[in-house]
């Protein structure tokens, strides 16, 4: 009987380059775990658009008016949206973290996913991001300070406050590598979302849709593109956390050594 070669892991057990990390996040979304992550992201993206609509209504923003007609209120909505994004990505972290654990370990994580712990970390991450967004460049710090805490819950089974501390430490470790990875991923998808928005606006103008209809078409479009964005960024957080452990904690070596007795036992049984 010929020897069966196992498939290459979607998340290799070694330090990765930036490009490999970005690709690993895509690979993590493939398969059943990725579909569940996308489904959860879709629900949260729809809820986000509903909350933003309520906020626009509370601020008295006319959906048929231009941006500069209510620039101050629109800025408030933008800041709130940035905070909600950080919160949603963190809420998706436990699912993405468990998927990353399955990708690198021989035995998948068992038991119930402690997602409720993210109900503590996600509001903290969202609030910090919202506050720092008022001060322009400080958003870079706020968005990344507790960014991977959600993934730490799913991958490392940490409690909420331990996960927040873990995220804060990783944001500054190793030349702030995790921070740069998260920023690169966020800015890449920001450009994709901008291109999507411009294309959607062109279609709305082409079909001469009214302001009211155009608003709801854009809202639906944002919910769709944000679903992919949030799922990918959560997967990237999980990959960045795993890769950081490989790079600075030698987790890859520990995993490989822990498998050796099992491999020897299988060979002896044959």
What the block records as the tokens of 63 is 């959906």
Q: Is residue 229 part of a domain?
A: yes
**Are 167 and 146 spatial neighbours (Cβ–Cβ below 8 Å)?**
yes
Q: Is residue 268 part of a domain?
A: no
DSSP H/E element including 35: helix 32-58
Domain ranges, residue 195:
35-255
pTM value is: 0.89
Q: Is residue 265 part of a domain?
A: no
10 vs 8: CA distance, rounded Å: 6
Q: Is residue 201 part of a domain?
A: yes
Q: Is residue 41 part of a domain?
A: yes
Domain count, the chain: 1
**Using a CB cutoff of 8 Å and minimum separation of 24, what contacts does 195-198 make?**
196/221, 196/225, 197/221, 197/222
Q: What is the pLDDT of residues 189-240, one digit of tens each?
A: 999 999 999 999 898 888 888 878 888 888 999 999 999 999 999 999 999 9
Q: What is the separation of C-alpha 102 from the centre of its chain, rounded to a whole number of angstroms?
A: 17
Q: Is residue 11 part of a domain?
A: no
Q: What is the pLDDT of residues 50-76, one digit of tens each?
A: 999 999 889 888 766 665 567 778 889
What the block records as the tokens of 137 is 């460049």
Determine what percent of the chain falls in helix, strand and coil, rounding each to the nearest 5.
80, 0, 20
């Amino acid at each position: 009987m010929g020897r069966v070669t196992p498939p290459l892991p979607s998340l290799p057990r070694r330090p990765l380059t930036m490009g490999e990390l970005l690709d690993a996040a895509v690979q993590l979304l493939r398969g059943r775990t990725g579909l569940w992550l996308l489904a959860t992201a879709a629900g949260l993206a729809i809820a986000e658009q509903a909350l933003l609509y309520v906020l626009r209504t509370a601020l008295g923003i006319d959906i048929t008016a231009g941006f500069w007609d209510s620039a101050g209120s629109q800025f408030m909505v933008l800041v709130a949206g940035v905070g909600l994004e950080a919160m949603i990505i963190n809420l998706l972290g436990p699912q993405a973290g468990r998927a990353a654990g399955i990708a690198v370990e021989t035995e998948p994580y068992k038991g119930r996913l402690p997602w409720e712990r993210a109900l503590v970390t996600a509001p903290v991450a969202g609030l910090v991001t919202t506050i720092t967004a008022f001060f322009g460049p400080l958003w870079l710090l706020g968005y990344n300070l507790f960014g991977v805490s959600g993934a730490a819950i799913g991958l490392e089974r940490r409690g909420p406050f331990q996960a927040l501390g873990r995220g804060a430490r990783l944001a500054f470790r190793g030349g702030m590598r995790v921070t740069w990875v998260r920023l690169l991923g966020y800015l890449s998808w920001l450009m994709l979302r901008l291109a999507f928005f411009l294309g959607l606006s062109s279609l709305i103008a082409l079909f001469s849709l009214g302001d009211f209809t155009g608003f709801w078409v854009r809202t639906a479009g944002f919910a769709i593109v944000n679903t992919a964005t949030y799922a990918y960024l959560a997967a990237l957080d999980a990959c960045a956390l795993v890769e950081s452990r490989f790079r600075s904690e030698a987790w890859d070596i520990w995993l490989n050594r822990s498998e050796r007795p099992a491999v020897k036992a299988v060979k002896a049984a044959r």
